[in-house]
Structure 1
């Protein structure tokens, strides 16, 4: 199918004109309502260009653009014009370029590899720990088509008290046939090295659950996503004990614990509940 795409760039200094491509916006030719957007997950090039770059703000921009794309048909101005008017000088869109695609998802993957993601090198260090789990979460939710509909980096202080630094990776509200519905939140927790993340989440869970009920009038289902036990089963007994301790500490506070292997099923449920 004939398609059009725009590259989204981070330009920290408009005078110098240096930039790093951070995302792609793709649509079927002439159809604003088909547009999809994806940002990079590897911000190393941005950090090299600008050590003080606000990565959290840039990640949030992806959700903002996706939201504008979904409501584009209701706006009086074409969605592309709205985006161009909204983006600050430090984040810019290129002129439209043409492409031919077998499918939109495949083309988006290809454009990200060609223009945005850093080149892979043979000695590249494999992501491990929390970063690997968080990456797997995002991948599965993207495959299910729900990542753009979810809240990201949810500030726990909205529900507990000012100053609480914890942020939950992602979540969404499921309006089920229950009073108030359910808010589902997901946090990547690595038990491979230590259990501090598990202890911190367990400590915060009761106040977070109470706060969600108070603020949103909904029950909270908090899910921790961890490595499968087999990834640490070949390590020393102490590592196994830490793993079990972390799981038990979270489950005692009514935190649902699933492994990376369960993510496809979790994402499929999100797709049904978000009516995608």
Structure 2
């Protein structure tokens, strides 16, 4: 058996009321033996919303990207693990806290991150809730999983505000995207529970293309990711949603196509 890796990890906690001291674990920072560190947050904010219905989960999701960027930039170059916690805590609000680093033995960094997430962040009862999820949230989660497995998620833009390309006040936010010769944007769309999302994306498509051409100076490839046809009961609604988007030259993939799209992203981003 190969020697296990001596790693260290810290839990990221959401603490809505520091006086009460109640918290929910929302992520993990894991440091490998070579000093490289990575972060992963939960995909399911149900426990956070249960504790704090007004929690800004979009801000928390953005925080994951900020922490990842800090770790990527090399804020942890020392063998001593303490600066990891101290440096990151300096940039966090009181409602987000990190535990002290703890030692762990890992077969691999990837496997250990998944194990820590299961143990501390997404216990079995939450995993069961996620299995019952449907609609846009489930598609968006599968899309993120595919891009993470390909190693490109951290390189992608997330929650892309359409207003920077269309007009002020546009509430649409695209799930993720990247630039490589052209701008590629991806949006989860449920044709089972929210066919209006397909109509909204189709309505925005031409203005988004025009805005990207004006602001970025390149072409936009807009992709909608939908359920497999076999999983949707209303075939007419499914066909309607597809036709609405395809008429606006929106590329449509199902979740079964995500692995191929993620591999393309990996190739184009040279990962």
Question: Counterparts of 1:82 and 1:98 in 2: how far apart (Å)?
Answer: 19
Structure 1: 4+ residue segments shifted above 6 A: 73-76
> Structure 2 residue aligned with 1:248, among 243, 248, 251?
243
2:203 maps to 203
The residue aligned with 1:134 is: 140
Q: 2:103 — aligned with what?
A: 98
The corresponding residue for 2:45 is: 43
CA shift, 1:18, in A, is: 1.5
Distance 2:173 2:236 in 1: 27
Root mean square deviation of aligned Cα: 2.1
Post-superposition shift, 1:79?
5.4
Q: Residues 2 and 100 of structure 1 are in contact (CA less than 8 Å); yes or no, is this contact kept in structure 2? A: yes
Q: Return 5+ residue gaps in structure 1 as ranges.
A: 175-180
Deviation at 1:75, TM superposition (A): 8.7
Report the alpha carbon displacement of residue 11 of structure 1 after superposing the two structures with TM: 1.3
Q: How does 1:1-276 map to 2 (within 5 A)?
A: 1-29=5-33, 31-32=34-35, 34-72=36-74, 80-120=85-125, 124=129, 126-174=132-180, 181-232=181-232, 235=233, 239-276=234-271
Superposition TM-score, scaled by structure 2 size: 0.91
Distance 1:123 1:165 in 2: 32
Alignment check: 8 A CA contact 1:150 1:171 kept: yes
Give the SS at the match of 1:89: coil
**In 1: Cα distance, 2:265 partner to 2:89 partner:** 31
Answer whether contact 1:9 1:23 (CA < 8 A) is retained. Answer: yes
Return the offset for 1:230. Answer: 1.9
Structure 1, residues 143-169: CA drift from partner, whole Å, max 9, x if none? 111111111111111111111111111
Give the number of equivalent residue pairs.
263
- C-alpha distance 68-194 of structure 1, shift in aligned 2 (>3 A): closer
3-state secondary structure, aligned to 1:72: coil
SS in 2 for 1:18: coil
SS in 1 for 2:23: strand
Q: Deviations over 1:80-137 (max 9, x none)?
A: 5431221122111110000000111110000001111143279746111111111110
Name structure 2 gaps, 5 residues minimum. none
Change (3 A) 1:120 1:207: same
